[in-house]
Amino acid sequence: MRAAMMVVVALMAMSPAHAETKDEATRFKEAITSFLASEASGVDVTGIMVNEVDGHLVASVPALTITDAQASFTVGAFSITKVGEREGGRIIDTTIAGPERVEGNILGNEVSAALTHARGSAAIDTERGRSVKTRFDIDGMTVQIPDAKGQVAIVKAWSEGGLDLDAKGAWVTSTTGGLEHIEIMFDGVSPGSTSNRVMIDGMAFESHSNGANFTAYQHFIDNLGKLGDTPGQTPDGNIFANLTAGLHEAGTGVKLTGIKMEGISNQADAETATIKSLELKTVVSGIDQKAASLRLIYQHEDFAAASAPADIASVLPRRTHFDLEIGDIDTQELMNALVGGKDATGAVAVMAVVAKAQLLVHDLSLEGDAASLSAKGEARFSSGTPLNLTGEGDVLVRGIQAIADLQNPFSAEISDILPIFEALGSPQQNPQHGDKELRYRIEATPAGELLVNGADLSVLVGAEEAPADKAGQRALLPRDPAMEGEDVKKIQKALLDRHLLTDLTGRYDPTTAAAVIRFQKQVKLNADGVVNEATRAALLK
């Protein structure tokens, strides 16, 4: 569907070739033919006829066939009408009527689309050969995907955009659009299997990009498709050089509203989930510089699963917000590594570039009725440091017990570490829900320390060995299987006497380690749950 719309929208951006020796109709036809041949690879543009209708030139296109490595389409008949000129003929205004059908194959799947009242308009800059502004509207669309037993129905669709170029070739392009009342249906592939239906009230999308050299960027686009083509049809060796020379920033965004998802089984009632809104954005910037970045933003509001059990529904993230960025990517080094080859050496070179990048967590939030998590921070891969990572951040967790109580494949693991996790946290009140949440300040230092709320957990997490004390007594810490022995019982007895532990098990389990952390906090020792010489001396005195 998207490819079909792009093809039809592309038709709006024709650029007539001025030639005084040719009549207007011939120049109009040549403009259409040359535009399609240069802007869309694998297009069969034969059969175009230009006639005068009611005083206007009209180009009739019986059909277009577009073929590349991943897809092929046949666009049904449509017409393009020249309705006027501006600025001494430099700007030509056109309208487009049709097509009514688009058929094709995407990655081996047959697709057919029926369009109702498809129409568009375009203002074309003939000197630059590009559209200044385009608009496309469809009053209804039905897409059939027989191989997947699927159907997509859309009540209304539109898109609008354009491209501006300055005298030096710098460019800016933007596109906005939307769909209304979308219904997606996929049937089960075997008896008794579940079919699925998704209904969406609306979808809005936008994209933008800009760069210093449009010709270089177009060269990159023209060669990009060849990367997936058959052997022998290889891209130009300057493909990535043209990308860094032509493009600075590119971003996309899509927002869905009023989403309802249903799973329908032959033996059961519909299982329904709803989302008030869902939004996804991507921005790639600094591609022509030495500090490029990729930013990904995802969020949804008011997610609900009507058929979910109460314990699961209480912890499902009704609201989710991810805002992550990978920055400080040296684009030129990355391109050189990619061009360097597809073998193991090339992969190592790519990883070496990525290893210098910075990871920024602008926001990571999941919020349910009984549990929530939020995080912010930054980190950088630091080769040569003990952890190969440096950074810092803050994490807030609410309702961890509700998550641990769920019956899932990870329940046992969560329950095992829960006492230590709770003991390490700094409790505070959640301002929105009024209940307790735990705060964790996490730091990975160049010296190799892993600090949580100021406590060095390097030994606890296994980044460092736990040394024996001067008397030769081993350090005690939670391991699988748990450490056992008289030394463990001695420590547990001391914790019992201080009302920090309730059971004497002889096993140094997470509950015992959590009691040690609480004691270490009381006496201002490193609160990591490891019984070393200093903790043993303070606990047994």
As a whole number of angstroms, the distance between CA 504 and CA 500 comes to 11
Q: How confident is the model at residue 238 (pLDDT cuts 50, 70, 90)?
A: confident
- Which conformational region is residue 420 in: left (phi greater than 0), alpha (psi within -120 to 50 degrees), or beta? alpha
In the chain, the percentage of residues whose pLDDT exceeds 90 is: 43
As a whole number of angstroms, the distance between CA 15 and CA 127 comes to 8
pLDDT of residue 30: 73
Q: Which residues contact 227 (CB under 8 A, 6 or more apart)?
A: 235
Task: Please state, in angstroms and as integers, the Cα–Cα distance from residue 134 to each residue in 92, 158, 159, 290, 519, following that order.
Answer: 12, 11, 8, 34, 70
- How many Cβ atoms sit within 10 Å of the Cβ of residue 285? 19
Question: What is the per-residue pLDDT across 284-313, written as a single tens digit (0 to 9) for each?
Answer: 999 888 889 999 999 999 998 877 788 788
Please indicate whether residue 319 or residue 190 has the higher confidence score (pLDDT). 319
What residue ranges do the domains of the chain occupy?
Answer: 1-165, 473-541
pLDDT of residue 237: 60
Query: Quick one: tokens of 455?
Result: 């406590």
Cα 135 to chain centroid, rounded = 28
Directed axis angle between helix 510-522 and helix 486-497, to 10°? 50
As a whole number of angstroms, the distance between CA 269 and CA 266 comes to 8
pLDDT of residue 348: 72
Residue 15 pLDDT > 50: no
Strand partners, 452: 442, 455
Residue 193 pLDDT > 70: no
What is the average pLDDT value for the chain, to the nearest integer? 83
Instruction: Report the range of poorest mean pLDDT among 10-24, 339-353, 374-388.
Output: 10-24
Positive or negative, the CA dihedral 82, 86, 89, 90 is negative
Bond from prior residue into 481 cis (ω within 30 degrees of 0):
yes
Q: Which residues contact 447 (CB under 8 A, 6 or more apart)?
A: 385, 386
In the chain, the percentage of residues whose pLDDT exceeds 70 is: 83
pLDDT of residue 87: 87
424, with CB counted inside 10 A (0-12, 13-18, 19+), is: buried
**Residue 246 carries which side chain, given as an amino acid letter?**
G
Bond from prior residue into 309 cis (ω within 30 degrees of 0):
no
Segment holding 53, helix H or strand E: strand 49-53
Residue 23 pLDDT > 50: yes
The DSSP symbol for 370 reads S
Question: What is the per-residue pLDDT across 349-402, written as a single tens digit (0 to 9) for each?
Answer: 777 777 778 889 999 999 998 889 999 999 987 766 667 788 999 999 998 888
Q: How confident is the model at residue 10 (pLDDT cuts 50, 70, 90)?
A: very low
pLDDT of residue 267: 46
Q: Which residues contact 107 (CB under 8 A, 6 or more apart)?
A: 70, 71
- Cβ atoms of residues 450 and 444 within 8 Å: yes
Query: Quick one: tokens of 457?
Result: 């957990």
pLDDT of residue 360: 92
As a whole number of angstroms, the distance between CA 517 and CA 515 comes to 5
Provide Rg for the chain, Cα atoms.
31
- How many Cβ atoms sit within 10 Å of the Cβ of residue 316? 18
pLDDT of residue 525: 96
As a whole number of angstroms, the distance between CA 84 and CA 90 comes to 11
pLDDT of residue 192: 52
Q: Where are the alpha helices (DSSP H) in 340-463?
A: 344-354, 400-404, 411-424
Please indicate whether residue 31 or residue 138 has the higher confidence score (pLDDT). 138
223 by DSSP, 3-state: which?
helix
As a whole number of angstroms, the distance between CA 293 and CA 248 comes to 11
Residue 5 pLDDT > 50: no
Segment holding 310, helix H or strand E: helix 310-315
CATH number of 473-541: 1.10.101.10
Query: Which residue in this structure is represented by tokens 């990655």?
Result: 107
Residue 63 pLDDT > 90: no
Q: How confident is the model at residue 453 (pLDDT cuts 50, 70, 90)?
A: very high
Could you write out the DSSP letters of every residue in 143-169? EEEGGGTEEEEEEEEEEEEEEEE-TTS
Question: What is the per-residue pLDDT across 38-52, written as a single tens digit (0 to 9) for each?
Answer: 555 567 777 889 899
Among 435, 307, 300, CA closest to 369: 435
Question: What is the per-residue pLDDT across 475-519, written as a single tens digit (0 to 9) for each?
Answer: 999 888 889 999 999 999 999 999 999 989 999 999 999 999 999
pLDDT of residue 227: 59
Positive or negative, the CA dihedral 348, 352, 353, 354 is positive
pLDDT of residue 384: 65
Among 437, 328, 324, 430, CA closest to 377: 324
Query: Which residue in this structure is represented by tokens 């249906």?
Result: 185
As a whole number of angstroms, the distance between CA 242 and CA 188 comes to 46
Residue 230 pLDDT > 70: no
Q: Which residues contact 39 (CB under 8 A, 6 or more apart)?
A: 10, 13
